[in-house]
Amino acid sequence: MSVQSFTSYLLLEKNYSKHTVNAYEKDIQSFIDFCDKELKLESINNVEYNIIRNWIVTLVNTGISNRSVNRKIASLKAYYKFLQRVGSININPLAKHKALKTSKKIEVPFSEEEMQRILLQLPFEDDFEGSRDKLIIELLYTTGIRRSELINLRTNSVDLNQRSMKVLGKRNKERIVPLLLPTIDLFEAYFRYRKELENITHDEYIFLTISGNKIYETLVYRIIKGYFSKVSSKVKRSPHILRHTFATHLLNKGADLNSVKELLGHSSLASTQVYTHNSIAELKKVHSSAHPRGKKL
């Protein structure tokens, strides 16, 4: 059974995105290259754990992070799990492997004040790119959609009359996301400028470049980083931080965790709970200031 069979399984049966499948394939190829170069093995299908352990040591010695090593191992483990599932091997050599320890990533959301400065005080150019950029920031903050979901939004995804939007998430799972009135206004302004574009090559997609092509990931990242560098000193300024900010601000205002889960398109509450630490910090402040025992005598 080849790696290609595994990637086909991920694409066709698991509905993983091409980007995710390419990452799996790249990680597995890294192990294949190691076995070919160091051990002259023709196949990785029947290796023992000690060989994988040597690869892990080699990876660590190159200086890459434990988080990156764990990702590679997770890809390889999934491959062996697939081989075991189809009967090509009897034992998954990584079945008892324990992930390397990693430090928790601290992602600090933007404050409400920073969001107000961006959307209410910061001047945007009164043209196609200005209206597009402001709508992108507004949409990421008020809906919590992923960057990839925003890029792939189609013109028939949005119903301004119903104030709703269809979002195609991970594994082709579709969800309906409500739109706020200010977001509707920004959509209408952007669509007016969009109609004036010449030579549109990807008309089915909502967000385009000035040349009429479908917008791309690095441009979205540059838009967010560029505007937020004007109002925030935070080290990390990315589209994902806006998704983090969306969830945190909702939870801080008392939103139900299950509701936030549905809005984010998470398949389990465990994924949503990573956003709760900031709301808990806010609750601690309220608790300390409101409870009689919290006040200093």
Annotated catalytic residue 266: yes
Three-class SS state of 124: coil
Longest dimension (CA), the chain: 74
Task: Return d(Cα 275, Cα 107) in angstroms, integer.
Answer: 9
What is d(CA 110, CA 276) in angstroms, rounded to the nearest whole number?
15
Written as six digits, the tokens of 63 are: 């200086």
Establish whether 194 is a catalytic residue.
Answer: no
Q: Decide if 146 is catalytic.
A: yes
Catalytic residue among 117, 166, 240, 277: 240
Identity (one letter) of the amino acid at 173?
K
Buried b (16+ CB within 10 A) or exposed e, 26-36: ebbeebeebbe
- Which is catalytic among the residues 134, 147, 243, 261? 243
Coil vs helix vs strand at 234:
coil
**26 and 79 in contact (C-beta within 8 Å)?**
no
Residue pair 190/132 in contact (Cβ under 8 Å)? The answer is yes
Is there a catalytic annotation at residue 236? no
Question: CA-to-CA distance for 146 and 133, rounded, in angstroms?
Answer: 16
The one catalytic residue among 170, 175, 225, 277: 170
Is 170 catalytic? The answer is yes
Query: Which one of the listed residues 72, 146, 237, 249 is annotated catalytic?
Result: 146
287 part of the active site: no
CA 281 to centroid of chain Cα atoms: 24
Residues known to be catalytic: 146, 170, 240, 243, 266, 275
